[in-house]
Amino acid sequence: MDDRKRNYIDGEWVETSSGEEIDVINPTTEEKIGSVPVSKEVDVNLAVTAARRAFPEWSETSVEERASYLNSLSLAIKDRAEELARIITQEVGTPIGYSRMAMVGTPRVVARSYAKILEDFSWEEHNRNSLIVKEPIGVVAMITPWNFPLHQIIGKVAPAIAAGCTMVLKPSKEAPLNAFALAEILHDIGLPKGVFNLVSGHGREIGEALARHSEVDMVSFTGSTNAGVRVSELAAPSVKRVSLELGGKSANIILEDADIERASSSAIYSCFGNSGQECSALTRLLIPENKRSEVLEIITNKISRYSVGNPMDEGMRCGPMVSKSQQESVTSFISGAMEEGATLVAGGEGMPDGLERGFFVKPTVFADVTPEMTIFREEVFGPVLSVTTYSDEEEAVALANDSEYGLSGGVWSEDIDRAMSVARKMRTGQISINGGAFNVTAPFGGYKKSGIGRELGIHGLEEFLETKSIQS
């Protein structure tokens, strides 16, 4: 049992003002695996004060020193990789193999990437009689989600360290234990006190307190679009910078000249990764009308062998939803799609065969999904793929762009130039062509209601910087 009783503030583990706790539940077993403290606004104030006090000295540290901390962080994550992967699998329900690769391996690489970026990053440039200087923005509040908990944290913490910012992290209450392990790591590598601070609790209380705090210079938030709107509203009176990575309803276009077998097989994994609990999942599959039967036959055969069960079992592809409420939400989308007339291809309502407990849903595929249906428009955040046919390339692009979101996307074609042309027409922040691999140094973020700003790479670093012009 991993019971955490204290926040991490100013380099020390500090008792909270409430004495209350939040239980952390394993979504596979429905049993308690730990707890974290409930913080109040007074605890937030302590953390922000510590970060503000640490900022002047930390912001003046050398680039080499900050790079050293980032390399140490990457190595420490590697040393505790198996422990962290198991924590996340127990908190979120992510299959253990995917936890090792994406939940822990990616954050380790991201931390190291920022040390590398610092080697060549230009902090100053001359423009006629002006010196253009980039400086750390200040104290950053970080509010992170449960679906990729450590990755989303490192995606903020690493560039903040690189920039010379100090920070206060509020992790999700569903998956907070990995954040406490990270605080231990940052303490052990000797990060100066006050640079990183951790407070846990309920978003509507301490998340909102952080967003409106007058001593916070920036809020970096990842979560639902509705919550992101609320963060923006609270941050507006103090005119602080807000970076938002929000929801998605991303389209995956298979053009008629694509490798249909490969594209159709990939479509399952592009939607069902992390049991479908990915903001960038390609949940809308757009296919040519004359390829409908072929695509659905491939998907049906593949999904029949898609393993669902205990995520700690090696090779398991799909685990549970993170919570009972998430299970109920995904189930309601499945029921609603059936009521609205979508054709059920695989999955459906109820628990997967052989499972009697845990927050599981059946990996589900619907065909004949039309733009007015709920599952075409709203983010399900579970293993539910909707398939829609189109008549020509122009309609495919129009369908892809027919969304209030614009986070990710995919295009499949044997003609790379054609695929690139379609990708350029899609109003979304990141697109893979023929399953192109995720790049941790490329900017990640969305158009429209999918967010503001970018994470990862140089673009992610620049979110944490101010620009000053000095004339002489």
Q: Which residues are catalytic?
A: 245, 279
Between the two ends of the chain, the Cα-to-Cα distance in Å is 61
Residue 100's CB is within 10 A of a number of other CB atoms, namely: 18
Residue 36, Ramachandran bin (φ over 0: left; ψ between -120 and 50: alpha; else beta):
beta
Question: Positive or negative CA dihedral for 172, 174, 175, 180?
Answer: positive
Tell me the three state secondary structure of residue 334.
helix
The CA distance from 80 to 16, in Å, is: 27
The CA distance from 446 to 203, in Å, is: 23
- Unique residue bearing structure tokens 């019971």: 3
Tokens of 409: 């996307």
| CA distances (Å), origin 7, targets 38, 173, 201, 314 | 9, 13, 10, 34
Tokens of 310: 């205990």
Torsion of CA 141, 144, 150, 156, to 10 degrees: -40
The CA distance from 47 to 51, in Å, is: 6
CB 123 within 8 A of CB 427: no
